[in-house]
Amino acid sequence: MSEDADRLGRALAARDRRDFAAAYDELVVLRGSGSLDAEGLYALGDAAWWLGLIRETLEICEECHERFLEEGRLDRAAMVALESGFHWMMRGEPEVGSGWLSRARRLLDGQPPSIGHGFLLWMDAQVRFASGDIEGARSGAVALEQLAADLEEPALACFGLALQGVMTIRGGDTARGFELLDEAMLPVLAGRIGPGEAGNLYCQMISICTDLADVARARRWTEATERWCDLSSSAVMFEGICRVHRAQLLRIQGDLDAAEEAAAAACAELAELNVEAVAEAHYEIGESRRLRGELAGARAAYDAAASLGRVPQPGRSLLVLAEGRPDEAAAAIRGAVAEQGDPFPRARLLAAQATIACARGDYTTADVAASELDAIARTYGSPGFRAWADIARGAVLIGSGSPADAVAPLRAALAACRAMGATYDENVARGLLADAIDPQAQTSAGPPGGLTAREWEILGAVAEGLSNRQVAARLVISEKTVARHLANVYAKLGVTSRTAAAAWAHQEGVVG
């Protein structure tokens, strides 16, 4: 018995220092010898979860739940049921998850207030929020904070504050919402709550920043979460989610190969853990491939995302545009916009709709999309939304014959993208700005050969060996626009072929 007690002590000490692999190894031995009580079994299931062993986790949870019921510990049995429900839902099996949550609710009914009641309140509020019942979700958040105060439970208080912060942002008071979220994170940063709850809150912070297109803030919280993950021997779920967000950031800054690599790693890590994150990772793979001009590969990735429940828009519509089918692209993005009422994903769709409409010369539709995007940017004060709105407005003004009026919004977009480190959007804004400024106004410090910045950019892509279609996909413009710019390049350089233009580009150092 002394040896088992020593082994259990080592296991719990390892768990407390977040060495979940060591804890798991010790607890597995004790389980094999029949020496684990219900709490020890719970600790084993928890360690297995941190290691990403979700099937084993679920099997242990079921056994642990039964053990707690046999001991008459309904509060602990309910907590295990809640966690089981959460795991099943994350795996993409909502019916099984709902069954476990229903069981938890039944066990907690009539029991004294506990942390289990708090997490049930939080889950219910999340469901209400997702279904559009904002007031119901807000009432749940207030009740959660009150329960946290009564129980003196910091984790519940953090979840309540975070939920209120997200809803406050959604209500249009972004500054106040982030104040609440920052306050919610203080106990997390101080190490006052458990690692599971801490990881969840870190993920909530990154998610709202990403939804809001606040790239700089999303980058800071992603880096903070990555540092926090490094404190554990293993944190497969949270590391995988971080990889998805890292892929998004890498794609935004233009590092497409690294973005796809990070997203593919997340797909492998989270395959059985988190279906929503895997779907998002497949979408990110599609985005990176589309921007590189790998159109067939992009379509396959978008299809994979769709098979897991992620509507692959606006990427799929932009892909159709890059494939040379602008009318189909316009119809696809019009349908996506019509179906999406949430302003955060709607902003992304509107930006794409403006791009597609401009490529077709439909500046009326582009103007409507740009105007709504501007209204969303004003409401939420998002630097990302603001930059997209200014890019859209600039493109509309150029296409409508008012390039001089496009200079101010495009310069604002360029500055905002630089500040955020959004390299890809910065390049889009720079290219449009070059189109807006009279080529005769280019200074001697500009590109050689009398080329505009946009012509220089397109020539560089051609010199890399990209086709017009691939150039169009990379720069999110139409093939017709690429062809027009190339015609100008040929005329300015006095050449008549792609080969000659590419040779000049290599001579002038357009490509390395």
Domain count, the chain: 2
What is the pLDDT, as a whole number, of residue 491?
75
pLDDT at 163 over 70: yes
- Whether residue 64 lies inside any domain: the answer is no
Higher pLDDT, 180 or 458: 180
> What is the rounded average pLDDT of the residues 242-251?
97
Are the C-beta atoms of 156 and 144 separated by less than 8 Å? yes
* Domain containing residue 381: CATH number: 1.25.40
What is the pLDDT, as a whole number, of residue 510?
64
What is the pLDDT, as a whole number, of residue 445?
47
> What is the rounded average pLDDT of the residues 319-328?
92
356, 399: one domain: yes
347, 393: one domain: yes
pTM of this structure: 0.87
- Whether residue 294 lies inside any domain: the answer is no
What whole-number distance in Å separates Cα of residue 389 and Cα of residue 371?
8
Domain boundary among 437, 464, 481: 437
What is the DSSP secondary structure assignment for residue 224, as one 8-state letter?
Answer: H
Tell me whether the omega of the peptide bond preceding residue 403 falls within 30 degrees of 0, making it cis: no
pLDDT at 497 over 90: no
Across 78-172, the runs of DSSP E, i.e. the strands, are: none
421, 361: one domain: yes
Domain boundary among 437, 462, 484: 437
Instruction: Give the confidence band of 443 by pLDDT, cuts at 50, 70, 90.
Output: very low
> What is the rounded average pLDDT of the residues 141-170?
94
* Domain containing residue 491: CATH number: 1.10.10.10
465, 408: one domain: no
- Whether residue 414 lies inside any domain: the answer is yes
Encode pLDDT of 451-496 as tens digits.
777 888 888 888 888 888 888 878 877 777 888 888 888 877 777 7
Enumerate residues 6+ apart whose C-beta is below 8 A from 508. 448, 449
What is the pLDDT, as a whole number, of residue 231?
93
430, 494: one domain: no
pLDDT at 270 over 90: yes
336, 423: one domain: yes
Domain boundary among 437, 467, 496: 437
Candidate from 55-59, 343-347, 426-430, 485-489 with smallest mean pLDDT: 485-489
What is the pLDDT, as a whole number, of residue 280?
99
What is the pLDDT, as a whole number, of residue 190?
93
What is the pLDDT, as a whole number, of residue 7?
93
What is the pLDDT, as a whole number, of residue 479?
78
389, 460: one domain: no
417, 457: one domain: no
What is the pLDDT, as a whole number, of residue 447?
61
Encode pLDDT of 9-58 as tens digits.
999 999 999 999 999 999 999 999 988 999 999 999 999 999 999 999 99
What is the pLDDT, as a whole number, of residue 446?
53
Candidate from 115-124, 160-169, 200-209, 500-509 with smallest mean pLDDT: 500-509
Per-residue b/e over 150-171, b at no fewer than 16 CB within 10 Å? ebebbbbbbbbbbbbbbbbbbe
- Whether residue 276 lies inside any domain: the answer is no
> What is the rounded average pLDDT of the residues 303-321?
97
Higher pLDDT, 364 or 133: 364
What whole-number distance in Å separates Cα of residue 270 and Cα of residue 135?
33
Encode pLDDT of 373-404 as tens digits.
999 999 999 999 999 999 999 999 999 999 99
Residue 495, H or E segment: none
> What is the rounded average pLDDT of the residues 353-382?
96
Long-range contacts of 370-374 (CB under 8 A, 24+ apart): 370/395, 370/396, 373/347
What is the pLDDT, as a whole number, of residue 444?
42
- Whether residue 466 lies inside any domain: the answer is yes
Instruction: Give the confidence band of 276 by pLDDT, cuts at 50, 70, 90.
Output: very high
- The neighbour count for residue 277, using CB atoms within 10 Å, is 24
Provide the mean pLDDT of the chain.
92
396, 494: one domain: no
What whole-number distance in Å separates Cα of residue 377 and Cα of residue 212?
10
Q: Which structural domain range is residue 468 located in?
A: 449-508
